[in-house]
Copies of this chain bind each other. A is one copy, B any other.
Amino acid sequence: MTDKKHTEIITVGKENLIERLTGGFEMRQTTTVAGVGDDAAVVARDDENYTLFSTDLLLEGVNFDLVYFPLKHLGYKAVVVGCSDILAMNGRAEQLTLALGISSKFSVERLEEFYAGARAACEDLGVDLVGGDLKSSVTGLVISISALGSVARERLVRRSGAQPNDLICVTGDLGAAYMGLHLLEREKRAFDGHPSPQPSFEGYEYLLRRQLMPAARRDVIESLADAGLVPTSMIDLSDGLAADLLRICRSSQCGARIYLDKLPIARETYALAEELNADPVVAALNGGDDHELLFTVPLSARETVARIGGIDIIGHITPDGTGAFLVTPDGAEVQITTP
């Protein structure tokens, strides 16, 4: 229990810290193809397929607030979060386990709401819940989700395959989930102490849906397969465009240029940002929880991407050492950093 040296975690950075902590682990199993450093681990299954394996943790007070997060939606989101990691490896989610830490004061009925949401998501995503554990918690609701999936060997996509001149693509739009969270936090403050809160979210239903009921983009993975296109790199947009693009640059040893006027931002995100006197681009760059896909494709795939639809090309990959920058409409380059 001696703690002579005390290096604060915040000074190291999450990526460096995980590398530092797990770097010394040797891989002994012949079935281990790829470990720490991607959205999911890659395990040999048979001659043609890999098994994908990932874990996520959602913690009360950090990842969700039960004051405004309905349990049914939370159950749905937990499954989406678990499956997104498998999709981001270009795979298909197949099995899922859910382990919960719950206060003894939690009623059976509230737990049933959570599982009803989880069941709806399992149906939507075609994934099987194969394991469940319940533990007592004295420290708030804890949700652990692990997922198994599969991918044909030649279709596996990792973070590390981006090449200079590749196009940078994103699905859906950016920052809406983050603005939805802001809206919920604002209403929580406004109605704090009010006996029967009836918040009005008129006009912003889209933002709430993006925060409370995100979709895992299985449709995009299927469209890419139908089009015969394998991205060179891919990642789940869970921590914001800036952080996740930097992860691709780091893994692929490359730089990037993305263009401000190409970023897909929803009308409602602009509207609420204006109302809150906030910058919608900051929401798009740093807002998490979108669970869209960020991926790169060769320049030659431009038309294929356009044909699929619902995908925006926001920039391109540059050689190693050139850094990652956001290019404004007047040609200025702003270095991309994480908050």
The segment out of A3-11, A225-233, A276-284, A323-331 that lies at the interface is A3-11
In angstroms, Cα B62 to Cα A53, docked, is: 27
Cβ B55 vs Cβ A25 within 8 A: no
Cβ B9 vs Cβ A97 within 8 A: no
Q: Does A309 contact B (CB under 8 A)?
A: no
Cβ B134 vs Cβ A104 within 8 A: no
Chain B residues, CB < 8 A from A134: 14, 17-18
Q: Determine how close the nearest CB of chain B comes to the CB of A286; give it in whole angstroms.
A: 16
Q: Determine how close the nearest CB of chain B comes to the CB of A32; give it in whole angstroms.
A: 5
Q: Does A109 contact B (CB under 8 A)?
A: yes
Q: Determine how close the nearest CB of chain B comes to the CB of A305; give it in whole angstroms.
A: 30
A111-B9, A142-B142 known; A41-B95 Cβ under 8 A: yes
Cβ A132 vs Cβ B22 within 8 A: yes
Kindly report how many copies of this chain are found in the complex they form together: 2
Q: Contact mask A126-149 → B, CB, 8 Å, 1/0?
A: 111111111111111010101010
In angstroms, Cα B127 to Cα A98, docked, is: 22
Q: Does A107 contact B (CB under 8 A)?
A: yes
In angstroms, Cα B20 to Cα A115, docked, is: 10
Q: Contact mask A246-260 → B, CB, 8 Å, 1/0?
A: 000000000000000
* Central interface residue in A6, A21, A28, A150, by most chain B CB within 10 Å: A21
Chain A residues 40-97 with CB under 8 Å of chain B are 40-41, 43, 45-46, 51, 53-57, 59-63, 70, 94-95, 97
In angstroms, Cα B126 to Cα A53, docked, is: 18
Contact of A122 among B25, B70, B127, B136 (CB under 8 A): B25
